[in-house]
């Protein structure tokens, strides 16, 4: 069900007895709305290719989708694709967020798309991404080493993107203090790991070095693969208690449900869920959507990861936009 309907319920404009019927009619309402949007002439906005490098010498490609010129930039979004994907497999989501007023940077992770795999490798120096090892995946989300972040000894792909955003922020064209991260599939796990690392950077006498992620959206998050596990970021206080998080997944996605159940335990008075088939209530009732900091949104589909994120039928960008607006109302301390 669309978060817009959820917010009507949360604000008291939608009676509880109507909510069940809307669970059934929401897909039809969404389909009708999509047909209306399809009739409109889509405006293509500028996309810029970036060339960045990690601390271990991997040359990566990333694509920058600046917010529409006629829109006020709402947030700066780092969009992380799934294993075996690339920026092209999340391009529709990136462009939809761009049209909604967000600036988006979508990197091709090492060994994917136009990014290299070996240190110093040339453009297109790729291999089968399924051959990436645990150490390779951990390096993607790495951000550590030294006392000053700008000179960090270990900087993976996401950190390299963050460095570029910081430069743009200092120049006044982006706002790193409204940074949001969206990850799909294994990219959601890596996004969580990097967000935890961002919150590990302590402030210095000259100001903050991190703690700038204001919202984390996880689309079909993978609990564990290739030795990389969601258990690691779940040890972070930022993930447990601080950063607003939305888990969005298809029906009966076990990894997504498992993650949300863990997050609920950390935030027993700040969670909200919308299930396709609502289960019996647990010991505590969920709070109103406008008061929550952790969300679970389930959709009637078997699609996962990039396929779910990029499918216009599910309008994931609209749900993410509403979530970001809610998250920014809960400014982490």
pLDDT digits (tens, 9 = 90+) for 64-75: 999 876 656 689
How many whole angstroms separate alpha carbon 97 and alpha carbon 95? 5
In this prediction, residues 53-71 reach a mean pLDDT of 87
Tell me the average pLDDT across 198-206.
82
Contact between 20 and 14 (Cβ < 8 Å):
no
Average pLDDT over residues 149-172: 89
Coil, strand, or helix at residue 310? helix
pLDDT value at 88 more than 70: yes
Note whether 221 and 259 are within 8 A (CB).
Answer: yes
Write down the pLDDT at residue 97: 95
Mean pLDDT of 151-170: 90
Across 185-194, average pLDDT: 97
The mean predicted confidence, pLDDT, of the chain is 82
Q: What is the pLDDT of residue 70?
A: 61
Considering only 35-44, 71-80, 165-174, which range has the smallest mean pLDDT? Answer: 35-44
Where is pLDDT greater, at 58 or 185?
185
pLDDT attached to residue 151 = 74
45-328 folds as Rossmann fold (3.40.50)
For the ranges 123-132, 147-156, 300-309, the lowest mean pLDDT is seen at: 123-132
Give yes or no for residue 129 having a pLDDT over 70: yes
Extended strands (E) in the chain: 48-53, 59-65, 76-80, 103-107, 143-144, 154-155, 179-184, 213-219, 224-225, 228-229, 245-250, 271-274, 294-299
- Give percent of the chain above pLDDT 70: 78
Read off the pLDDT of residues 235-258 as tens digits, 9 standing for 90 and up. Answer: 999 999 999 999 999 999 999 999
What pLDDT sits at residue 75? 92
Domain boundaries defined on the chain: 1-41, 45-328
Q: How many CB atoms are closer than 10 A to CB 166? A: 17
Please check whether residue 218 is in contact with residue 257, taking contact to mean a CB–CB distance below 8 angstroms.
no
Residues 6+ apart with CB under 8 A from 306: 81, 82, 85, 89, 90, 184, 185
Band (298; pLDDT cuts 50, 70, 90) = very high
């Amino acid at each position: 069900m669309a978060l817009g309907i959820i917010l009507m319920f949360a604000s008291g404009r939608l009676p509880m007895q109507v909510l069940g019927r809307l669970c059934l009619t929401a897909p039809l309402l969404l389909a009708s709305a999509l047909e209306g949007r399809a009739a409109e002439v889509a405006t293509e906005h500028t996309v810029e290719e970036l060339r960045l490098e990690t601390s271990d010498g991997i040359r990566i490609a990333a694509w920058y989708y600046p917010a529409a010129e006629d829109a006020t930039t709402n947030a700066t979004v780092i969009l992380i694709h799934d294993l075996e994907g690339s920026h092209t497999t999340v391009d529709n989501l990136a462009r939809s967020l761009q049209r909604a007023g967000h600036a988006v940077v979508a990197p091709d992770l090492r060994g994917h798309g136009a990014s290299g795999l070996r240190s110093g490798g040339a453009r297109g120096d790729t291999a089968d991404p399924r051959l990436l090892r645990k150490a390779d995946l951990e390096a993607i989300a790495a951000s550590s080493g030294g006392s000053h972040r700008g000179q960090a000894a270990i900087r993976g792909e996401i950190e390299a993107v963050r460095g570029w955003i910081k430069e743009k922020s200092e120049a006044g064209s982006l706002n790193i203090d409204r940074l949001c991260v969206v990850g799909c599939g294994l990219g959601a796990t890596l996004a969580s790991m990097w967000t935890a690392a961002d919150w590990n950077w302590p402030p210095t006498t000259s100001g903050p070095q991190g703690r700038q992620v204001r919202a984390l959206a996880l689309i079909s998050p993978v609990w564990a693969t290739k030795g990389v596990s969601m258990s690691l970021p779940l040890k972070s206080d930022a993930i447990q208690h601080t950063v607003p998080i939305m888990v969005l997944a298809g029906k009966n996605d076990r990894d997504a449900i498992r993650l949300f159940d863990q997050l609920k335990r950390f935030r027993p008075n700040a969670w909200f869920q919308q299930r396709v088939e609502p289960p019996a209530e647990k010991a505590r009732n969920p709070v109103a959507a406008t008061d929550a900091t952790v969300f679970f949104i389930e959709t009637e589909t078997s699609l996962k990861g990039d396929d779910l994120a990029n499918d216009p039928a599910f309008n994931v960008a609209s749900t993410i936009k509403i979530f970001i607006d809610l998250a920014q109302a809960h400014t982490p301390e």
